A and B are shown apart, each in its own frame.
Chain A
Amino acid sequence: MPRVSFTRNLQRHVACPPCVVAGATVRESLDAAFDLYPLARGYVLDEHGALRQHMAIFVDGEPVADRRALSDPVPASAEILVMQALSGG
């Protein structure tokens, strides 16, 4: 099952330690993680469910292609990292 980890900078606002969830896509995996940490959803996604502009998601080291619907498939053993996109210095 995929493992979802959130940037440490988010932990300052919302407690959301790494979790192992069921999901075949980025969306399904994140939805499962947000079931555990409901407050984290609004920090990562906007009100339409799209990835916030300055956030990034990597699946096994590759940035996701679909930032809006989050439809990228994830392997069963995937490491999903929810990070901040670098902007500024």
Chain B
Amino acid sequence: MSDQLLVSTRKGLFSARRTGRGVWDLESVAFLGDNVSLVQHDPRDGAWYAALDHGHFGAKLHRSRDRGATWTEIGVPAYPTPPEGHVEKDFLGREIPWRLIRFWALAPGAASQPGLLWAGTIPGGLFWSEDHGDTWQLVEPLWHMPERRKWAGGGADAPGIHSICVDPRDGNRVAVAISSGGVWITEDLGKTWAAHTRGMRADYAPPELVEAPESQDPHHMVQCPGAPDTYWIQHHNGIFRSTDSAMTWTEITGVKPSVFGFPVVVHPKDPDTAWFVPAIKDERRIPAEGKVVVNRTRDGGRTFETLHRGLPQAWAYDLVYRHALDLDASGERLAFGSTTGSVWISENGGDDWLTLAEHLPPVHAVLFV
């Protein structure tokens, strides 16, 4: 069970601690005033990584080896210099800069790969570090893949990699998900990549492109650590699940109050149990009927329970982004944070929720550590 929660917000990295049964308190803040877009924990060595987006000053990365007591700025990925005169545009004709805009995913390598880290970024570059983030290299085969040019912005002006699943059985197998650009998997530590979107569909695309890999807009992808053949995706178009290592995907339909949303988490051992935070799609992006709820399935998506005990059920317009829902290693404790600065925690798999905060800055991400 995890007794500490990190909350990445527009104005700092907050820490909350469990002080008793059902009692959690905010206890400290780091980087107060700065935009902390993401935080990641490396279970192999205990290090924490915080990605900052300073706006004027660019994206930065900091590492802590003492659970947040002190932070050290480390290296950031550099995009290659484009060929002279090269102006890259996405398939809608919008310019894509070859420049680090934002960290959108951080993931440690497998247990057998100490020091190896992956970073997914906007505008679509995947980087890796072999020295705990001190230096970074672009995964060139993915960046130079012709299909990458068909990725487009979705959730941001430029495409970005927001989900990185390192296979716990084989660290050379890495799956990444892109908004908007589908799911791509390498089996050889990044040398070659293949699309893995069979079964997905994108109703928002022109008819000819509904099933194209690059049309798919997975909002978030997770892999079950204890049953790694199973992946879940909260897609722009709905919920998809794979039970064959992402070779094929099955659409989950009939989900109330909405099949749209951003985050998904899967139980660490039970691949059939997953949680979502539904919202009304596209034109509104608010909770249905002003009620904040969490959807849970325990049977692989055949049925869902809509959980609401302890959550606001009127006049609530909290939107929860893709990294702002987390589950601890026990599979019992959940937390999520919203764009309006609320954070809720559950100690019983989502049946009951307590309010940690209502007035934080907009929440980008939460993480149990």
Contact = CB atoms under 8 A, between A and B. Distances in A.
A25 interface: no
A76 B205 CA distance: 58
Interface in A36-67: 39, 42-44, 46-48, 52, 54-55
Contact of B99 (A43, A46, A54, A87): A46
Contacts of A87: 56
A52 B60 CA distance: 14
A42 B76 contact: yes
B79 A43 contact: no
A47 B57 contact: no
Contact of B79 (A10, A47, A84): A47
A23 B275 CA distance: 59
B103 to A, nearest CB: 14
Interface string B63-84: 0000000000100101101000
Nearest to A88: B55
Interface residues of A, number: 16
Contacts of A85: 56
Interface in A12-53: 13, 39, 42-44, 46-48, 52
B58 A52 contact: yes
Contacts of B56: 9, 52, 54-55, 84-85, 87
Contacts of A84: 56
A64 to B, nearest CB: 16
Contacts of B54: 13, 43
Contacts of B79: 47-48
A77 B310 CA distance: 66
B55 A47 contact: no
B255 interface: no
Contacts of B30: none
A43 B81 contact: no
B60 A47 contact: no
Contacts of B58: 42-43, 46, 52
Contact of A54 (B55, B78, B98): B55
Given A13-B57, A43-B60, A46-B58, 7 more contacts: A9-B56, A42-B58, A46-B99, A47-B99, A48-B79, A52-B56, A87-B56
Q: 3 closest A-B pairs (Cβ-Cβ)? A: A47-B78, A43-B57, A54-B56
24 contacts: A9-B56, A10-B57, A13-B54, A13-B60, A39-B73, A42-B57, A42-B58, A42-B60, A43-B58, A46-B99, A47-B78, A47-B99, A47-B100, A48-B79, A48-B98, A48-B99, A52-B56, A52-B57, A52-B58, A54-B55, A55-B56, A55-B57, A84-B56, A87-B56
